[in-house]
Structure 1
């Protein structure tokens, strides 16, 4: 049934509405405006069951801090949020540089947020950006983000573009997305290793709950299938995302009998950790074991040996995402299409041909 807000307007609890108030939420739930306000701030003064009821209705109707994000479009703050899972990864620094360059030309400043693959933390950042009237959002979704979570942002009216990670299946999210083709990039580097004579190729890293993790592993598997090679599950170590993860994976791989002749790191950070651990073990990367990475960050060309890696087009991703966001901020209806950009394999010293 429809309800009346304190301003006498009719609204339906399942539809986002401009100017929705605390009082309107309170009337729907039979609670005071003070209780609603405390619940939305997760105050311990309000019972958990009540907080959950309030949060559920607020999210359902697109309520954000006493005003819908759609109503905020009348006032510009010239601030855009960029939300990713790891600000320490140099690949994202390259995307930030491209985004900032494009948006600064439009007198827009960026505020960088790091959610660390925590969906709750990501939601807090997004709500904070809405409360501070940010003009838009570029987001690499946290692992575990659902299509509904992203569609709530779309319904709120805040201009938004996803980057680097997909959410759900085709057509499930009503937002544009820009990323490199992780399947194609991973398949290309694995094909290169196989062509160099390697048949025992380890794959280290990547969160399988993320689209990048799944698709890079799928590309690795597809190259093996094309070559008639059987995947050995002992050569697959998932979840590593950092140099420390690469260092930790090395002892297990070296203990195998026989050990791999090549290792493919999910990203350059993982690969750099692998190279460091191999050096520490008295093994020369590129001569004794081939190592490849992904993203082709600046550290790849300057590592020892220089790292073969997949250039994952950060400048194109950042500039295109910024342009799609700018168009939305200016009032254009941007279709929720997903843009895949072809990456490029860059071969260096770390993947010498396998010993025969």
Structure 2
């Protein structure tokens, strides 16, 4: 097997120094255009492939960015990827990717492997239950002074940059929309308490109910996984109550889709007999039956802001940790209407 061509192979063929070849392949203007073109043509003919790993070792930067998402079974989280990948590609950065399956041990292992492979920075959607100790503790000293940006989910008091959605505002927008439509009997289908998003959204729901003078009872708040099955099963339970809710507010679109599916099985018309809302405004929300009223999380702005923060940290910029809160937008569709 023929040996892989090197910078010296090109230099010998063109009759220049190795350093001249290195500069020309990076399109450095210190090498004349004619010489650059000769060198680049020779590299192409020889099948030379730029060794980014070796270059990264020389400059102490691998050129890679690590991204760890908590759960790909929820399409919402994949929306961040497209916005971030485009920005990193523009910056000539390659992405390392991990699907953590909402499992702390997988997340911890990837963080360690990312450091071992010399990634230059990390964007992380923390898995449920992630604490400050998991990011700042003694077992992750390799993250000290490491460029890291958290998105979507917050981890309180950590010393890293965070870019998150304003979940409190999102719930307020939904509640006000439903309250103005005459709803007074509400149910909350939540996602537990292991993430900042679940806690903040439920807390905001309770605050809105209290401000409106409406009681929060055992029948008002229900916890469960972010699945279609949970939403589907909960509707039947809610309908058997002496006074069923006229509005069901769901922690996520996924849960709301399950509720909508169950409505038709029980002969309930969403948007007429009962109002249903989601949160996130995934692409599918506009095409459910009926189209789902939801809160649009600006994954584009969050992804872009996080990418810029990480690139600036990787470039060595020093400033206090940033906590950026991005306001969402209310999107009203046919799944909500006046209280029956």
Are 1:333 and 2:318 an aligned pair? yes
**Equivalence for 1:321:** 306
- The superposition leaves residues 8-63 of structure 1 with CA deviations (integer Å, 9 ceiling, x where unpaired) of xxxxxxxxxxxxxxxxxxxxxxxxxxxxxxxxxxxxxxxxxxxxxxxxxxxxxxxx
Q: 1:258 aligns with which of 228, 243, 256?
A: 243
1:215-240 residue CA offsets vs partner (Å, 9 max, x unmatched): 10111111111211111221211132
Unaligned runs of 5+ in 2: 1-55
Q: Residue 227 in 1 paired to residue 212 in 2?
A: yes
> SS at the partner of 1:270?
helix
Measured after TM superposition, the shift of residue 73 of structure 1 is: 10
Q: Deviations over 1:135-181 (max 9, x none)?
A: 2111111222221221246743431100111112xxx2110100111
| CA–CA separation in structure 2 for the residues paired with 1:121 and 1:312 | 26
Q: State whether structure 2 residue 90 is matched by structure 1 residue 102.
A: no
CA RMSD of aligned residues (A): 1.8
Residue 350 of structure 1 aligns to a residue in which SS? coil
Rounded to whole Å, the distance in 2 between the matches of 1:129 and 1:200 is: 49
Q: What is aligned with 1:29?
A: none
Match of 1:212 in 2: 197
2:153 is matched with which residue: 146, 156, 165?
Answer: 165
Q: Distance in 2 between matches of 1:240 and 1:107?
A: 38
In the alignment, structure 1 residue 85 sits paired with structure 2 residue 70: yes
Paired position in structure 2 for 1:197: 182
Q: How many Å separate the matches in 2 of 1:280 and 1:108?
A: 49
Correspondence list, 1:293-312, <5 A: 293-312=278-297
Matches within 5 A, 1:28-177: 74-151=59-136, 152=140, 155-168=143-156, 172-177=157-162
Give the drift of 1:91. 1.7
CA pair 153-187 structure 1, distance change in 2 beyond 3 A: farther
Contact 1:154–1:160 (Cα < 8 Å) also in 2: no
Matched length: 282
Equivalent residue for 1:282, pick from 263, 267, 290 = 267
Query: CA, structure 1 residues 342+334, in 2 after alignment: closer, same or farther (shift >3 Å)?
Result: same
Partner Cα separation in structure 2 for residue 281 and residue 73 of structure 1: 66
Contact 2:115 2:142 in 1 (8 A): no
In the alignment, the residues of structure 1 paired with residue 233 and residue 97 of structure 2 have an alpha-carbon distance, to the nearest angstrom, of 29
Is the radius of gyration larger for structure 1 or structure 2? 2
Partner SS state of residue 166, structure 1: coil
CA distance in 2: counterparts of 1:154 and 1:315, whole angstroms: 30
